[in-house]
């Protein structure tokens, strides 16, 4: 989590903004069921009557309804109305007489209290007519209603009306209000349509606002997650570039590729899903519970039962699959490793007829992933139907117990529908959290694997600037080994032991010896691919460890044992040596490297395409282009690590002649297996089991070094030895 937090911090303002947008979006979704409930209960059931008390009524209606109130209630109720005197009231109530009343109170609290008085009085009125054997209140003749003597009714029915469920009182109050409005000539259908359309329009606006907030949230979460992914890939790649071979031995190429791509993708996906869903799910879940309890407290126990069943199901599934997710990345590493080895070694595999064995090896790695993924998918397949079953049972319970509440007038139809929507939102939130909790362990494993790379200490580092030394420009090329010893990590014995020599500008120093004698290791110490275990290497009298790696390598031209080319063309590969080199410099380097014959064989010349790894050129051509790349740089020190082995003798000889003139002012170090390649060197160093067995010119070593003489006699005739 530290890694994820580190990379989220630069995007913190966008994260906060995204959470705010997400909160707004979720609140919009939570409010929609409430408006749906209002459409059903107010717009459809109550005919669009949503005011606690009538907005207008005749004097007779006022007298009839207030006669069922206490004296205090009558005073408060009448005070909220003023005499009808303007044409505005006539628009909705064309039959409103001059002695009628119009509601003018604007205080929300008082309006609510007046609504309570009115609904109780309307319920008492309903009870009065039920005792008189009238069928239903909405069929009562209003004129007959006003002509009744209602004195004494208050004491008889008040207690029963007060104990009537609130929802039933509201419904009765709306029915009586419709009677009053009908008497005043109001268009009840138009009022109902206005109520439905008004609430529906509000729902549309909220939906559009929620949609816009969702779009903005998706934009910012995408920017945050992709930005984190980009930075992670950049930093992992940058870190890997600083690795010495020692660090590469800890991580295979296959796992580094997986960590830089697949693992980063998992972290990126987790960040995106977390910002969109992990934050959203609690808001929707908690908000859904609050809104559902507000809608119907009596049905809230259904939510508790559903959540318990849901969490139990999730735990049963996740405890089985999460351990399998943790091994998935290791299995992917293995598959990548086998795939890379098989593809890169295809010619060898075919030459030895081992296609079947490699196929079996790949199938084993592939089957491990298949079996692991199949188990996960089969287990996870149980989750959706289980959730659907719980959701179905929950819906059935809401309908069963909700219908009873509606029958008892303690719940309205719209509220039951809204409650059902809230329960679905709550269950959906838990489903989302469950899916995220499956993703998080795998993403955390990936984050840990990325952290391993980023936290890996690089053995080759620069000293602090205050302790660092500098060459003060281009080096003169004096290279000195002072009692150098070297051992690989965890090795029992040294590869090099007490090696001392000096190489100067204008001279060629060559190294030869049997396989495993330490020749390549020796020259790899110069550019600090490794650091010496003992002794020191100095350039112009300065220990190479006291120089910055960049300054040291700027003075070196390195040609590796294996000619490595990059996809592109000849010019792009040669520009690795010098980015601003001219075509003339390229041409000169190509000429010295004896590469003109194939580079300029057609009109493309420097634009000749080079495939990945240089697979479209031969081994000898790779070596010559690798040599040309170093020559373009024109460094102080040239290092040729067995770079002529793929050349024929004629090309080898021509190249060495041209090279001698081109590098006459530079220090040249050559590792070779052929005596003919180095016999004209100014100094030849013979290595045997990591120690210097002999040092001198070709002629001197033939006389003084038995190991060199044996190598020379095995390769050259007596005439060629001289």
Find the domain containing 261 and state its range: 2-32+198-455
CA neighbor of 77 nearest in space, from 67, 89, 85, 86? 67
CA pair distance 268, 640, nearest whole angstrom:
43
Are the beta carbons of 610 and 566 closer than 8 angstroms? yes
What pLDDT score does 231 carry?
A: 92
- Same domain? For 8 and 115 the reply is no
Residue finishing a domain among 440, 455, 470: 455
Angle at 45 between CA 42 and CA 51, to 5 degrees: 35
Q: Which of 142-151, 188-197, 415-424, 612-621 is predicted with the least confidence, judged by mean pLDDT?
A: 142-151
Q: Are residues 202 and 177 in the same domain?
A: no
Give the count of beta carbons closer than 10 Å to the beta carbon of residue 189: 10
Three-state SS letters, 390-446 = HHHHHHHHHHHHHHHHHHCCCCCHHHHHHHHHHHHHHHHHHHHHHHHHHHHHHHHHH
Would you place residue 89 in the very low, low, confident or very high pLDDT band (cuts 50, 70, 90)?
Answer: low
42 within a domain of the structure (yes/no): no
Residue 176 and residue 203 in one domain = no
Residues 313 and 238 in one domain: yes
> For residue range 523-582, what is the model confidence (pLDDT) as tens digits?
999 999 889 989 999 999 999 999 998 888 889 999 888 878 888 888 888 888 788 888
Pair (267, 169) in one structural domain: no
The residue among 140, 159, 183 that closes a domain is 183
The angle at the Cα of 476, spanning 471 to 477, to the nearest 5 degrees, equals 100
pLDDT of residue 160: 65
* pLDDT one-digit tens code per residue, 101-115: 889 888 888 888 998
Residues 229 and 330 in one domain: yes
Q: What is the 3-state secondary structure (H, E, C) of 501-564?
A: EEECCCCEEEEEECCCCCHHHHHHCCCCCCCCCEEEEEECCEEHHHCCHHHHHHCEEEECCCCC
Give the single-character DSSP code of 11.
G
pLDDT exceeds 60 at position 150: no
Q: What is the mean pLDDT of the chain?
A: 84
For residue 220, is it within any domain?
yes
Q: How far apart are CA 403 and CA 396, in angstroms?
A: 11
CATH number of residue 692's parent domain? 3.40.50.300
The pLDDT value recorded for residue 278 is 78
User: 243 CB contacts (<8 Å, ≥6 apart)?
Assistant: 251, 456, 458
Residue 29: CB partners within 8 Å, gap ≥ 6?
A: 210, 284, 425
Tokens 């081109």 belong to residue: 662
DSSP single-letter state for residue 668: E
Q: Is residue 99 part of a domain?
A: yes
The pLDDT score that the predictor gives to residue 158 is 64
Domain end (from 391, 421, 455): 455
When comparing pLDDT for 333 and 35, which is higher? 35
193 lies in some domain: no
Task: Quote the pLDDT of residue 156.
Answer: 54
Asked, for residue 13, whether it belongs to a domain, the answer is: yes
Contact (CB, 8 A) for 547 and 471:
yes
| CA–CA separation, 183 and 59 (whole Å) | 12
Report CA-CA distances (Å) from 676 to 376, 656, 710.
63, 10, 14
Query: How many Å apart are CA 422 and CA 436, to the nearest integer?
Result: 21
Return the closest-CA partner of residue 398 out of 385, 380, 383, 411.
411
pLDDT in tens, 2-49: 788 888 888 889 999 999 999 999 899 889 988 888 888 888 888 888
Q: What percent of the chain has pLDDT over 70?
A: 93
301 domain-assigned = yes
Residues 80 and 167 in one domain: yes
What is the mean predicted confidence (pLDDT) over 632-660? 87
Higher local confidence (pLDDT), 143 or 225: 225
- Contact assessment for residue 477 and residue 552, using Cβ atoms and an 8 Å cutoff: no
Could you tell me if residue 461 is inside a domain? no
**What burial class does residue 596 get, using C-beta atoms within 10 Å of its C-beta: 0-12 exposed, 13-18 middle, 19+ buried?**
middle
Confidence of residue 131 (pLDDT cuts 50, 70, 90): low
Contact between residue 427 and residue 314 where contact means Cβ atoms under 8 Å apart:
no
Residue 465 resides in a domain: no
For residues 613 and 594, give the distance between their C-alpha atoms in angstroms, rounded to a whole number.
20
The model's confidence at residue 140, banded by pLDDT at 50, 70 and 90, is: very low
Q: What distance in Å separates the CA atoms of residue 333 and residue 263, rounded to the nearest whole number?
A: 11
CATH number reported for the structural domain that contains residue 247 in this entry: 1.20.1560.10
241 and 320 in a single domain? The answer is: yes
Measured CA to CA, the distance from residue 675 to residue 541 in angstroms comes to: 31
Based on the domain organization, do 165 and 281 belong to the same domain?
A: no
Residue with token string 């206490």: 70
Give the three-state DSSP class for 687.
strand
206 and 144 in a common domain: no
Main-chain dihedrals φ then ψ at residue 255, nearest 5 degrees: -70, -30
pLDDT tens readout for residues 583-594: 888 889 889 888
289 and 209 in a common domain? yes
Cβ-contact 384, 427 below 8 angstroms:
no
Q: How far apart are CA 261 and CA 573, in angstroms?
A: 25
Please report the pLDDT score of residue 146 as a whole number. Answer: 57
- What pLDDT sits at residue 522? 93
Q: Which residue, chain included where needed, has tokens 């009115």?
A: 118
First to last CA, the chain: 70
Please state which of the ranges 39-53, 143-157, 293-307 shows the lowest mean pLDDT.
Answer: 143-157
Give, in order, the Cα–Cα distances in Å from 296 to each of 32, 166, 309, 328, 390.
16, 13, 21, 46, 20
Asked if residue 622 and residue 706 are part of one domain, the reply reads: yes
Instruction: Give the pLDDT confidence of 434-481 residue by residue, as tens digits.
Output: 777 777 777 888 888 888 888 888 888 888 888 889 888 778 889 999
Neighbour tally for 176: CB within 10 Å: 26
- With contact defined as beta carbons under 8 Å apart, do 551 and 468 qualify? no
Tokens, residue 177: 């209000």
Residue 135's pLDDT band (cuts 50, 70, 90): very low
Q: Which of 61-65, 241-245, 348-352, 718-722 has the lowest mean pLDDT?
A: 718-722
Into how many domains does the chain fold?
3
Q: Mean pLDDT: which of 225-234, 396-405, 642-651, 710-719 is highest?
A: 225-234
Residue of 219, 183, 234 whose CA lies nearest to 59: 183
Whole-angstrom Cα distance, residue 671 to residue 293? 82
């Amino acid at each position: 989590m530290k890694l994820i937090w580190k990379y989220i911090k630069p995007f913190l303002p966008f994260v906060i903004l995204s959470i705010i947008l997400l909160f707004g979006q979720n609140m919009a979704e939570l409010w929609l069921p409430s408006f749906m409930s209002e459409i059903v209960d107010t717009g459809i059931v109550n005919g669009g009557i949503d005011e606690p008390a009538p907005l207008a009524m005749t004097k007779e209606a006022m007298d009839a309804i207030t006669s069922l109130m206490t004296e205090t209630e009558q005073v408060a109720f009448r005070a909220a109305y003023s005499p009808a005197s303007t044409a505005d009231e006539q628009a909705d109530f064309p039959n409103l007489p001059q002695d009628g009343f119009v509601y003018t109170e604007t205080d929300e609290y008082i309006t609510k209290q007046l609504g309570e008085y009115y609904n109780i009085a309307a319920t008492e009125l309903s009870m009065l007519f039920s005792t008189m054997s009238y069928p239903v209140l909405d069929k009562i003749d209003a004129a007959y209603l006003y002509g009744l003597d209602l004195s004494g009714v208050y004491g008889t029915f008040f207690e029963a009306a007060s104990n009537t469920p609130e929802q039933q009182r509201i419904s009765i109050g709306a029915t009586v209000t419709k009677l009053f409005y009908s008497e005043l000539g109001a268009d009840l259908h138009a009022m109902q349509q206005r109520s439905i359309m008004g609430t529906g329009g509000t729902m549309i606006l909220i939906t559009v606002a929620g949609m816009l907030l969702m779009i903005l949230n998706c934009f910012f979460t995408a920017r945050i997650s992709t930005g984190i992914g980009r930075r992670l890939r950049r930093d992992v790649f940058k870190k890997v570039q600083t690795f010495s071979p020692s660090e590469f031995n800890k991580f295979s190429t296959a796992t580094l590729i997986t960590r830089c791509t697949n693992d980063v993708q998992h972290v990126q996906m987790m960040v995106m899903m977390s910002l969109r869903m992990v934050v959203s799910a609690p808001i929707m879940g908690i908000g859904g519970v609050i809104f559902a309890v507000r809608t119907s407290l009596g049905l809230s126990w259904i939510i508790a039962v559903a959540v318990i069943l849901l969490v139990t199901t999730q735990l049963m599934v996740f405890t089985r699959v999460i351990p399998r997710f943790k091994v998935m990345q290791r299995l992917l590493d293995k598959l990548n490793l086998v795939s890379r080895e098989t593809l890169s070694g295809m010619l060898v595999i075919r030459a030895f007829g081992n296609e079947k064995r490699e196929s079996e090896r790949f199938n084993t790695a592939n089957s491990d992933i298949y079996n692991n993924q199949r188990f996960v998918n089969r287990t996870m397949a149980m989750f959706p139907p289980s959730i659907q079953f719980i959701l179905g049972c929950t819906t059935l319970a809401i309908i069963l117990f909700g219908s009873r509440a509606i029958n008892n007038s303690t719940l309205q139809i719209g509220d039951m529908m809204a409650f059902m929507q809230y329960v679905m939102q709550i269950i959906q939130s838990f489903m989302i959290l469950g899916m995220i909790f499956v993703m998080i362990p795998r993403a955390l494993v990936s984050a840990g694997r990325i952290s391993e790379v980023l936290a890996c200490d690089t053995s080759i580092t620069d000293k602090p600037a205050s302790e660092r030394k500098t060459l003060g420009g281009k080096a003169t090329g004096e290279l000195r080994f002072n009692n150098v010893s070297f051992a690989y990590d965890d090795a029992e014995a040294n590869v090099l032991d007490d090696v001392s020599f000096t190489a100067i500008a204008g001279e060629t120093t060559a190294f030869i010896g049997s396989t495993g004698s330490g020749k390549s290791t020796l020259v790899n110490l110069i550019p600090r691919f490794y650091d010496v275990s003992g002794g020191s290497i100095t350039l112009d009298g300065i220990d190479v460890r006291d120089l910055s790696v960049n300054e040291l390598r700027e003075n070196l031209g390195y040609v590796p044992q294996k000619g490595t080319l990059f996809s592109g063309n000849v010019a792009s590969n040669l520009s690795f040596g010098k980015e601003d080199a001219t075509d003339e410099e390229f041409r000169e380097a190509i000429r010295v490297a004896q590469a003109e014959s194939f580079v300029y064989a057609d009109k493309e010349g420097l634009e000749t395409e080079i495939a990945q790894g240089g697979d479209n050129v031969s081994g000898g051509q790779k070596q010559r282009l690798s040599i040309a790349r170093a020559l373009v740089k024109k460094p102080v020190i040239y290092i040729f690590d067995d770079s002529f082995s793929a050349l024929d003798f004629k090309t080898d000889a021509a190249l060495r002649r041209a090279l001698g003139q081109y590098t006459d002012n530079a220090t040249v170090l050559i590792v070779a297996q052929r005596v003919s390649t180095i016999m004209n060197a100014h100094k030849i160093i013979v290595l045997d089991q990591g120690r210097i067995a002999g040092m001198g010119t070709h002629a001197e070593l033939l006389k003084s070094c038995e190991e060199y003489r044996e190598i020379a006699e095995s390769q050259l005739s007596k005439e060629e030895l001289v």
